[in-house]
Amino acid sequence: MIPASYFFLLSVILFVLGIIAFFLKRDLITQLMSVEIMLNAANLAFLALAKSSNFLDAQVIVFFIITVAAAEAAIGLAIIMLIFRQKKSIKTEDMRSMKG
């Protein structure tokens, strides 16, 4: 029986790594990937709680998080495609103007 605190520790490590990746990487696609890492860390914490408290609703919440993440990835990648078509670049440094 693995204690839930191990899973919490792993979840915290993954979340912080996602934050670091978000700030270190300079292109939009990898930043979107690091957002996915953070979402997965949250999922892991939810499931660890579901295991330790025997509360089934957390698994349903994780299901909803995964579906919303799928929708978010689709929209985000479509926006990245649009940006690439207009600016021929997906680096964050090249996005300085608010007007398209």
Partner 1 sequence: MMILLFFVLSVICVGSVLGMIISKNQAYSALFLVLAFSCLGGLFGILGAPFMAVVQIIIYAGAIMVLFIFVIMMINLRKGISPERKKWTLAVSAVIAVVLLAELVFAVLGASPMPETAASASGTSPTDIGRLLFTKYLYPFEITSVLIISALVGAIVLVKKREKE
CB of 14 within 8 A of CB of 44? yes
Q: Which is nearer to partner 1, 60 or 95 (CB)?
A: 60
Q: Which is nearer to partner 1, 91 or 99 (CB)?
A: 91
The residue among 19, 76, 69, 60 whose CA lies nearest residue 40 is 69
- Per-residue x/- track, 40-69, partner 1 (CB under 8 A): x--xx--xxxxxxxx-xx-xx-xxx-xxxx
For residue 33 the two structure tokens come to 């990937």
For residue 40 the two structure tokens come to 């997965």
What is the C-alpha end-to-end distance of the chain, expressed in Å?
A: 55
How far apart (Å, rounded) are the C-alpha atoms in residues 96 and 25? 17
State the minimum distance, in angstroms, from the CB of residue 96 to partner 1: 15
Q: Which is nearer to partner 1, 9 or 95 (CB)?
A: 9
For partner 1, the binding residues (CB under 8 A) are 1-2, 4-10, 12-21, 23-27, 29-30, 32-33, 36-37, 40, 43-44, 47-54, 56-57, 59-60, 62-64, 66-75, 77-82, 84, 90-91
